[in-house]
Amino acid sequence: MTKKLLLIDGNSIVFRAFFAMHTQMDRFTNQAGLHTAAIYGFKLMLDHILADFQPDAALVAFDAGKTTFRTERYAEYKAGRNQTPTELTEQFPYVRQLVKASGMHAYELPNYEADDIIGTLAQAGDQAGYETLIVSGDRDLTQLATEHTTVAVTKKGVTQTEHFTPAYMLEKLGVTPTQFIDVKALMGDSSDNYPGVTKIGEKTAISLIQEYGSLIGLYEHIAEMKKSKRKENLINEKEIAFKCQDLARIRRDAPVTVSLADLTYTGPDHAALVDLYQELDFKSFLTKLAPDEATAPTGEAAVTFTPLTAASLAAVGQLKAPLTLHIEQSQANYHLAKVEGFALGDGQHWFASRDATLLTQAPIKGLLADPKVAINLFNAKAHLVLLNRLGIDLTGIDFDLLLASYLLNPTLNADDVGTLAHEHDYLAILSDEELYGKGAKRQLPTDDAVFLRHLVAKGQAIAKLQPQLVAKLKANEQWPLYTQIERPLSTVLAQMEMAGIKVEKATLEAMGSQLSERLSELETAIYQDAGEEFNINSTKQLGTILFDQLGLRPIKKTKTGYSTSVAVLEKLVDQHPIINKILAYRQIAKLQSTYIAGLLKVIHADDKIHTRYLQTLTATGRLSSVDPNLQNIPVRLEEGRKIRKAFVPSQPGWQIFSADYSQVELRVLAHVTGDANLQADFLAGEDIHAATARRIFHLLPDEEVDPNMRRQAKAVNFGIVYGISDFGLAQNIHVTRKQAHEFIQAYFAEFPGVEKYIHDIVASAREQGYVETLTHRRRYLPDIHAKSFNLRSFAERTAMNTPIQGSAADIIKMAMIKMPAALQAHGLQARMLLQIHDELVFEAPAEEIPQLAQVVPEVMDSAMQLAVPLKVEKKAGATWYDLKKLPD
């Protein structure tokens, strides 16, 4: 067996951990006020790597101090760095303790950096026949990759890593690990503060090293390079380049005083870890460390409850509101799920049973249907639907742990009580995955004692977390968002889902057979063109046919091979007749599999489709729709649009009615930016994209906006909402990057309020760590501080886009909440069925349509008062396909 050596770059991982958890810094302090986020993150990473790699020998290297041989040779090395915050420096001693308690060696060497220790030991490991894994947050260490040494660099957070082998580097960067040093020499490193050669960045550096093989090779052949500014710079700065090469090169001969034999990994020292965790208040690590083996499974507190039977039902009547209810479903789709069991209690007494029929009997049914009895639970909408199926009208919902937690942080993706409770530091419960298992192995405990105790533990977690989360919502100014928007919305959504939309099977089936015919014709023709049969649905096989067999030029690569996406295929249309056939095949295959077969599979016995809206999923506050997704039924292309013919009213003589907000996101933009020109354009009530075109192309009042100008202005408007870049815009409208840049500049000149807003929102995200919508819906953006340009830019675009997209979501939600009462007040039978982000779809008796066309837009455009009017367009027709615009 090959021995395995683990080398960890302590400093860089601790830094990564610190900044990864920066936004939650305040949550991570022990009772003495010591910050612990970096220690915590470091331990997460450690556990992950140790479980994964299982080393025989291990060492964590740290930097010894500020001065090293590099600073002696180049005084500016790492100069100008911000001072490490004390919140971080105070954690280093504990990290070292943690390393030792985990059975690993911590090591540092005066005058050298952690990198050099690692480089030296990795080399020793290679020579001694070890398989070595280096873990760092710093890409520079990839230069140490060899056939037997892999370098894992943290990607996002601390537990996700990207593994660099020499082959992977060649593929990804185009250079070998050794060449990487020379690339750094040319491009420099701004964070380590050495310059490289003027005007040479990563791309140029890589192509130069690829061409000449090495830095030395480049200077040997510099005379042959054709005259250019770059050549001049290279000649003038030759000395700097070699200096930088010296700085970039990690030493493999540092005078380390440990040998591989000293580094044996001994595994964790339990007693030492317990002491340390206690000092740090690491409760979750403590419970993992000391499972209560005799009794409960890890983390599940002993709970007392009464197993409920028909005979003992009366005792439930003694419970005092507020009550906490948890119903366990057999599957996520609550339209079909069975009730596996439930727990009900008031914080003092708990009852639990596997028998769902008990819910439908007195006194439980009465308590649940009583609006004066406050109910706490997890996932209000699921409970509303499940209980409705049992004939119970749940009315008194007060606290929904899932919804409250989502508002506090929409990017947590826990969807069971246990996991979510852990996120809020409540640990006396197991997650479903821990108790039930996952995937195919998932199974509910057959033992009543274990299963019912878990359901009660869920109830207790909900009851316990309520006051805490309510206080947080109030502190965040999110209480109205919870009580006035999201909580009532649950009920409205439940009604829409239960109503369902009628879909005609026969219509879909008829379309399906037509599509099948066309598919087999196209298939034959494609095989003919290709000269052989293959799986057209396989991108891999298709890539081989197009680019290897037919010799077409690959336009783009994915990480697994050639890209064959529409964008690529469209560029190849003129090269070969097979391309158009593949495009047609793809389009039809998509309709057939996703929309014909897919929808047929989910039509219920009542001939309706009952989607589920996920109210706590998206990062922006939008809804999403699953089982099936009814928010992406085709509309843009006629062939796909025909699918909508199958969506029909549920009763004869009824029609489909739809109302959509016109340009909500841009109107929200006009509101939040306060931009006078953008607001004026909306107040004038003209075509907004044409108005934008007039401004950015400086048209005279009597000049006409040609369609191309309008198209470009529209793309600019979209770009602004998405967090614009010249590159992205250029790609979208097929102009040069320079032109795109000019469009954006022209836009900002005309709409200075928008430019200021973009600047301010990014600054505010940096300061506060989050952004907000008009209703104080919040999204944290930890990556706004990321060192990686990519991650940081992404966070900046998100900072810009989320308040816009999220506020638009707020607005339609407010309209939806008011809708049922408004319909009822007008004595209408109409029912709201679907929400598609900026559109609401209804069904109603034909004779109600004129009234509906009044009432619905009125509710929608008065949902929130903005600085510009909200405009609503309406349509009606016999099916979802046949909708025709109604006059204003």
Partner DNA sequence: CTTTTCACG
Partner DNA sequence: ACGTACGTGAAAAGT
If one asks whether residue 80 binds DNA (CB under 7 A), the answer comes out as: no
Nearest to 450 by CA among 345, 617, 305: 305
Q: CB under 7 A: which stretch of 465-473, 516-524, 623-631, 748-756 binds DNA? A: 623-631
Q: Which of 93, 174, 201, 467 binds DNA (CB under 7 A)?
A: 201
| 572 contact partners, CB below 8 Å, separation of at least 6 | 546, 552, 553, 555, 579
Nearest one of 188, 145, 178 to 163, comparing CA atoms:
145
The answer to the question of residue 235 lying near DNA (CB under 7 A) is no
Q: For residues 227 and 601, which CB has a smaller minimum distance to DNA in the complex? A: 601
Sign of the torsion formed by the C-alpha atoms of 107, 109, 114 and 115: negative
Nearest to 504 by CA among 710, 305, 646: 646
Nearer to DNA, 440 or 825 (CB): 440
Please tell me whether residue 797 binds DNA under the rule CB under 7 A: yes
Q: In this complex, which beta carbon is closest to DNA, that of residue 25 or of residue 546?
A: 546
Q: Which of residues 698-737 bind DNA (CB under 7 A)?
A: 715, 718-719, 722-729, 732-733
Q: Which of residues 92-131 bind DNA (CB under 7 A)?
A: none
408 contacts DNA (rule: CB under 7 A):
no
Nearer to DNA, 98 or 542 (CB): 542
What one-character-per-residue DSSP string does 603-668 give? --TTSEE--EEESS--SSS--EEESS--S----SSHHHHGGGGGEE-SSTTEEEEEEEEESHHHHH
**Binding residue for DNA, selected from 287, 673, 801, 807, defined by CB under 7 A:** 801
Question: From the CB of residue 294, how many other CB atoms can be counted at a distance below 10 Å?
Answer: 5
Instruction: Give least dist CB 591 to DNA, A.
Output: 7
What is the closest distance, in whole angstroms, from the C-beta atom of residue 494 to DNA in the complex?
Answer: 17
Q: What torsion, rounded to 10 degrees, do the Cα atoms 77, 82, 85, 91 define?
A: -20
Taking CB under 7 A as the rule, does residue 554 contact DNA?
no
Is 523 one of the binding residues for DNA (CB under 7 A)? no
Q: Is residue 355 a contact residue for DNA (CB under 7 A)?
A: no
Closest CA to 696 of 722, 679, 671, 677: 677
- HEC string of 138-180? CHHHHHHCCCCEEEEEECCCCCCEEEECHHHHHHHCCCCHHHH
Q: How many residues of this chain interact with DNA, rule: CB under 7 A?
A: 79
What is the Cα–Cα distance from 219 to 209, expressed in whole angstroms? Answer: 11
Residue placing its CB nearer to DNA in the complex, 254 or 800:
800
Instruction: Supply the minimum distance, in Å, between the C-beta of residue 519 and DNA.
Output: 11
Out of 257, 348, 446, 535, name the contact with DNA by CB under 7 A: 535
Q: Does residue 466 touch DNA according to CB under 7 A?
A: no
Binding status of residue 624 toward DNA by CB under 7 A: yes
Tokens (6 digits) for 45? 């990473």
Say how far apart CA 559 and CA 619 lie, in whole Å.
27
Q: Least distance (Å) from DNA to the CB of residue 871?
A: 14
Site string for DNA, 419-448 (x = CB under 7 A): --------------------x---------
Whether residue 183 contacts residue 214, with contact meaning beta carbons closer than 8 Å, is answered with no
Residue of 24, 768, 793, 879 that binds DNA (CB under 7 A) = 793
298 interacts with DNA by CB under 7 A = no
d(CA 643, CA 655): 17
- Which residue's CB is nearer to DNA, number 133 or number 716? 716
779 contacts 802 by C-beta, under 8 angstroms: yes
Stretch that binds DNA, among 126-134, 473-481, 698-706, 830-838 (CB under 7 A): 830-838
Residue 529 burial (10 A CB sphere; 0-12, 13-18, 19+): middle
Q: In the bound complex, what is the minimum distance in angstroms from residue 610's beta carbon to DNA? A: 12
Contact between 789 and DNA by CB under 7 A: the answer reads yes
**Residue 794 binds DNA (CB under 7 A):** yes
CA geometry: angle at 838 spanning 748 and 729, to 5°? 35
| Three-state DSSP state, 833 | strand
Smallest distance, DNA to C-beta of residue 503, A: 14
Q: Which of 210, 312, 629, 662 binds DNA (CB under 7 A)?
A: 629
Terminal CA-to-CA distance of the chain, rounded, Å? 78
H, E, C per residue of 294-308? CCCCCCCCCCCCEEC
Shortest approach of DNA to residue 689 CB, angstroms?
12
* 46 within 8 A of 9, measured Cβ to Cβ: no
Residue 620 as a binder of DNA (CB under 7 A): the answer is: yes
Among 537, 549, 708, 829, binds DNA (CB under 7 A): 537
CB under 7 A: which stretch of 36-44, 78-86, 424-432, 539-547 binds DNA? 539-547
Q: Which residues 358-397 are close enough to bind DNA by CB under 7 A? A: none
Which residue of 226, 372, 553, 636 would you call a contact of DNA, by CB under 7 A? 636
Q: Does 790 bind DNA (CB under 7 A)?
A: yes
Interaction of residue 838 with DNA, rule CB under 7 A? yes
Of residues 837, 851, 878, 879, which one binds DNA by CB under 7 A?
A: 837
CB of 422 to DNA, least distance (A): 20
Q: Which C-beta is closer to DNA: that of 458 or that of 779?
A: 779
CA–CA–CA angle 473, 478, 484 (5° rounding)? 115
**Candidates 454-462, 505-513, 686-694, 796-804 — which segment interacts with DNA by CB under 7 A?**
796-804
Give the H or E element holding residue 516. Answer: helix 505-530
Closer residue to DNA (CB): 117 or 152: 152
* Residues 172/142, Cβ–Cβ less than 8 Å: no
Of residues 560-599, which lie at the interface with DNA (CB under 7 A)? Answer: 560-561, 563-567, 569, 586-587, 590, 593-594, 597-598
What does DSSP assign to residue 194?
B
Of 3-11, 447-455, 614-622, 767-775, the window that binds DNA (rule: CB under 7 A) is: 614-622
- In angstroms, give the least distance from the CB of 801 to DNA: 4
Of 34-42, 304-312, 765-773, 831-839, the segment contacting DNA by CB under 7 A is 831-839
Out of 87, 687, 839, 882, the residue judged to bind DNA by CB under 7 A:
839
Structure tokens at 95: 């990290």
**Residues near 360 by Cβ (< 8 Å), separated by ≥ 6?**
390, 391, 392
203 lies in the site for DNA, by CB under 7 A: yes
In the complex, least distance from residue 320 CB atom to DNA, rounded to whole angstroms: 38
What are phi and psi for residue 832, nearest 5 degrees?
-80, 130
In whole angstroms, the minimum distance from the beta carbon of 639 to DNA comes to 9
Instruction: State the Cα–Cα distance between residues 650 and 869, nearest whole angstrom.
Output: 34
